[in-house]
Amino acid sequence: MKIRHGEIDVLRAVAIVLMVLFHLVYDLKEFAGASIDYRSPLWFFIGKVSALLFIFISGLSNGFSRSPVRRGLKVLFYGMCITVVTYLVMKDEYVRFGILHFLGVTMILSPLLVRLPSWTLWGFAGSSAVLGFWFKEQVLKTSLLLPFGLMYDGFGSIDYYPLFPYLAVTLLGILAYRHFYALRTEPLFPFGHNSELTKWLSRNSLGIYLVHQPLLLLMIFIINSMANRH
């Protein structure tokens, strides 16, 4: 019988709620002119925690998945669709390597990563973090290395999660699976009464990610149209 770990559902549901909340604030500022600063420490923290939770849970979930490469190709495909749509709509700040691109690539790499010994994963995690912060200070003349965290002068994107330093968070998720879940025969925490809403949010996290922005923008457009009529 497959064990359901309720705490993972809870974390994924929290990540979804925080993500939608942050994007709502962003859209209200950018498309409705609301006097709210999504760059403030509070909103920056909310947006970043949401993304880091998704990345950590993805690394953790790779241990449970029987087909991470297929899942990764699917997620990467959706990421490329977002690239096309944002290029048509936003031009200069379109998504080159956003969180879906990142998650898709790391899922594809996961069969290799999960075979590495723990000490190697810890070393790669530390190295990824250090490289990422160092790469952030470098400026190149090419865009070919954007997936690794090396940017060019004038680069801008509404969503950018390069492999370095964020691969470190994926590796921590893989290590968490290895040390807390791999050999367990019962749930880690007693989440037997997990709510149906939490389970639904967790199971449909990718779909929610893909549709929530168009729905938020449609809602803002309708409200703006109604307000202009009065």
Residue 147 domain flag: yes
d(CA 203, CA 60): 15
Which residues are CB-neighbours of 25 under 8 A, at least 6 positions away?
Answer: 36, 38, 43
Degrees (nearest 5) of the Cα angle 15, 122, 171? 30
Rg of the chain over all Cα atoms, to the nearest angstrom: 19
Q: What burial letters (b/e) apply to 169-205, b meaning 16+ CB within 10 Å?
A: bbbbbbbbbbeebeeeeeeeeebeebeeebbebbeeb
Query: What was the pLDDT predicted at 65?
Result: 86
Band of pLDDT at residue 33, cut at 50, 70 and 90: confident
- Where do the DSSP E strands lie in the chain? 139-140, 151-152
**Tens-digit pLDDT profile for residues 68-89:** 999 999 999 999 999 999 999 8
Band of pLDDT at residue 94, cut at 50, 70 and 90: very high
Q: Give me the helix-helix angle, 68-90 and 205-229, nearest 10°.
A: 20
d(CA 27, CA 33): 9
Residue 91 domain flag: yes
Residue 41 is part of which domain span?
6-229
**Cα dist. 158→94, 96, 216 in Å?**
7, 9, 16
Query: What was the pLDDT predicted at 183?
Result: 78
Number of domains composing the chain: 1
Query: What was the pLDDT predicted at 82?
Result: 94
Residue 1 domain flag: no
Residue 201 domain flag: yes
**Tens-digit pLDDT profile for residues 101-122:** 999 999 999 999 999 999 999 9
Residue 96 domain flag: yes
**Tens-digit pLDDT profile for residues 150-195:** 999 889 898 999 999 999 999 999 999 999 888 766 666 665 556 8
